[in-house]
Amino acid sequence: MTLYRCRTPTNFLCPCGRVARRLRRDGLEHEQVRVPWRGRERGEVKTLSGQDRVPLLVLSGEAICDSHRIVEHLDWLSTR
């Protein structure tokens, strides 16, 4: 699982940090990729999801955008 996130140095100031905290809390092993600030420099994110916003979680080949959707998906996975 890979989390594409902004370069904010803390996990408490942005939606990317919310997802990182959740992954850590659940003990889910993941890789973090810090992407540039500017949208046009986020080519890999755009290729994976069709848009250039983060956070983006790639899980089993599926790209999930938006911190709320990611957390909801992790909730759903934990109930399965």
Where along the chain do its domains lie? 2-79
Token pair 């973090």 is at which residue? 32
Q: Which helix (H) or strand (E) holds 43?
A: helix 43-49
- What is the per-residue pLDDT for 66? 96
Distance CA 70, CA 18 (A): 10
24-77 confidence digits (pLDDT tens)? 999 999 999 999 887 678 889 999 999 999 999 999 999 999 999 999 999 999
Topology of domain 2-79 in CATH is Glutaredoxin (3.40.30)
Query: What predicted TM-score, i.e. pTM, was given to this entire model?
Result: 0.91
In this predicted structure, the answer to whether residue 19 has a pLDDT above a threshold of 70 is: yes
Q: Which helix (H) or strand (E) holds 3?
A: strand 2-5
Strand order in the sheet with 2-5: 31-34, 2-5, 56-59, 62-65
